[in-house]
Amino acid sequence: MLVNLLRDLAATLDLPAPRPEKPGSACPGLLRIVPALDGGICRVKLAGGVLSSQQARAIAEAAERCASGVLELTNRSNLQIRGVLPGQQAELIERLLAAGLGPSSPAADDIRNLLLSPAAGLDSHALLDTRPLTSALLDLLQSTPALHGLSAKFAIQLDGGEALAMLEHPHDIWLSALPGTPARLAFGLAGCPTDKPLGVVDIGQAVPLVEQLLRLFLDLAGNEHSRMRQLLSVIPAHQLLQQLQTRLPFALQAVPLSWQRTSIHPHPALGIYPQQQAGLCMVAASSRLGRINAAQLRALTELAEQYGDASLRLTPWQGLLLPNIPEPSADKLLHTLAELGLLIDAQEPLSNLIACTGSAACAKGLADSKADALRLAERLRTSTARPHVHLSACPRSCAAAHTAPFTLLASSAGHYQLYQRTREAAGFGQLLASAMTIDEAGDWFAAHCATGNSNA
C-alpha cells in the first residue's frame, strides 16, 4: 500500500516514481519512504554531510509534524526521519524539497552517495580541499541519466588527507589525496583509502575517471551485480583496470611506493579541534546510539547561528560537528552540547557503542539492540573497560559499514554471539562466545578490555 501511495505522490508532484529495490532490501530515500515497525523511514542525503541552519530547522519541524520527531544520524553522514505517519508522506516530502534537500534531478535521489571528511576545507592536516571536487562529482551523478541505474547502496569516498576522516568504511570507489604538487589522487575499488590503490590521476582527471569507471561498471555488471565487490568476484581488478584504460584519454599513473594513508584520529570525533583558519576551531559531539530528536536539532541550529557560521556537519560516526567556532567560545559550546544530551567524552561508554534499530522497530531484528546497548553501557561504567562494540540485531549489520573491534550479533532475544575483529577472519571476525547475555558480555569486557589489559 505504501508503495502505491508514493507512486501516486510522485505523479502529483510531477516527479519520477521511486525506483523499486529488491524485496526486503529497499533503501530509504527522500522520495522512497520505507515502512518499519515504528512507521515510515525517510532518508535525507546531504551534500558533503552539510546542513544549513535553515534546512536543519525545516527538518525538525517536518519530523514533528509528519513523523515521530525521532531522527537518526547515519554512518554515511546522512539523516533519517523515523516514524513517518500514515497520510503524511506527501507533506513531508514537499517540506524537504522546499528546504532544498532534494536532488537537482529527482531521478538521482538514490545515487548521491558521496562521503568526505566532516572537516573538509577546515582540517589543518588536509592535503586537498575536497569540496570543489565533491560538487563536480555530485553534478556528474545527478546530471547523467545513464548513471541513475546505479544501486542505492553504491557509494564513493573522497579523502583529502584530513585527520578527522572515517577510513574504515568500504566504498565501491575511493579516491585519496597524495602529498605534493600538482594535486593528485590515488584511487581504488571496493575498499578503503588505507588499502593498496590501483592507480593515480591528476585532480583534473578525477571526474572523467569516475564517470568512465561508473559507465564501465554498469556495462559489465548488468542486472547481476549491484556493488563493485560483486563484480570484482568475477572480473579481477587488473582486467577491469585494463578495460578502463581503453576508455580514458589519459594514461593512469603508477602508485608511489612510499605512499601510505594512515588514520590520525581513528575513533569518533569528540571535543574541540583546531582549524587551519586562524582563531577558529571545530566542536564535535556524538549522538546517543545514532539518534537525536527534533527539539535537539532545533537547539543545535540556534547554537550554530549563535557561535558559528549557521551550518552543521554530520559525521560518519553518527555525530555532529559545528565549524568555524571562535576559539574563546569553543569550551562553552562543547559543554552546552553535553547539556543537550549529546556525548562529548570518549570515556563515556555510549560514545564507543553502535547499535542498530533492533526488534523494537525492525521486523528482522532478533533482539532489542538499542535497549541492550544502554544496558551494556551501564555495566561498563562500573569498570575501566571502554571497548568499541557494535550490537547488531541480525547479520545484515545495518548500523555499521565497517567491522568494529568487537561485534555482538543477536542469536535470540537477549542473547548474542561475541566476535572480535582479526586480520585472519572474514566478516565480523573470530567467534569468541556463541551465546552471551548482555550482563555476561559486560563482565567479559570488564575482564578483558580494562585499562592496562593487554587484550584491550
Would you state the cell numbers that stand for residue 58, as one nine-digit string?
525545516
Nearest to 362, CA basis, from 29, 34, 14: 34
Does residue 194 belong to any structural domain of this protein? yes
Q: Are residues 321 and 233 in the same domain?
A: no
Condensed to tens digits (0 to 9), the pLDDT of residues 241-277 reads 999 999 999 999 999 988 889 887 767 899 999 999 9
Query: How far apart are alpha carbons 394 and 361 in whole angstroms?
Result: 13
Greater pLDDT, 19 or 187: 187
Query: How far apart are alpha carbons 51 and 363 in whole angstroms?
Result: 31
Non-local CB neighbours of 242 within 8 Å, separated by 6+ positions: none
Helix%, strand%, coil% for the chain, nearest 5: 35, 25, 45
Would you state the cell numbers that stand for residue 170, as one nine-digit string?
568500504
What residues are paired with 1 via a beta bridge? Answer: none
Condensed to tens digits (0 to 9), the pLDDT of residues 401-446 reads 889 999 999 999 999 999 999 988 889 999 999 999 999 999 999 9
- Other Cβ atoms closer than 10 A to 182: 8
What mean pLDDT is predicted for residues 353-378?
A: 96
Does residue 184 belong to any structural domain of this protein? yes
For 105-179, list the strands marked E by DSSP: 114-115, 156-159, 171-177
Asked if residue 182 has pLDDT above 60, the reply is: yes
Instruction: Tell me whether residue 85 is exposed, middle or buried, using C-beta atoms within 10 angstroms of its C-beta: 0 to 12, 13 to 18, 19 or more.
Output: middle
Q: Are the C-beta atoms of residues 289 and 350 closer than 8 Å to each other?
A: yes
Does residue 109 belong to any structural domain of this protein? no
Instruction: Say whether the peptide bond before residue 182 is cis (omega within 30 degrees of 0).
Output: yes
Condensed to tens digits (0 to 9), the pLDDT of residues 262-317 reads 887 767 899 999 999 999 999 999 999 999 999 999 999 999 999 999 999 999 99
Alpha-carbon distance values, 433 to 199, 375, 429, 442 (Å): 41, 19, 12, 13
Does residue 260 belong to any structural domain of this protein? no
Q: Are residues 152 and 223 in the same domain?
A: yes
Q: In this structure, what are the phi and psi dihedrals at residue 110, rounded to the nearest 5 degrees?
A: -65, -30
Asked if residue 9 has pLDDT above 90, the reply is: no
Does residue 118 belong to any structural domain of this protein? no
Residue 298 belongs to a domain with what CATH number? 3.30.70.3340
pLDDT, residue 453, reads 55
Q: How many domains does the chain have?
A: 4
Would you state the cell numbers that stand for residue 166, as one nine-digit string?
572515517
* Residue numbers of the domain that contains 283: 271-342
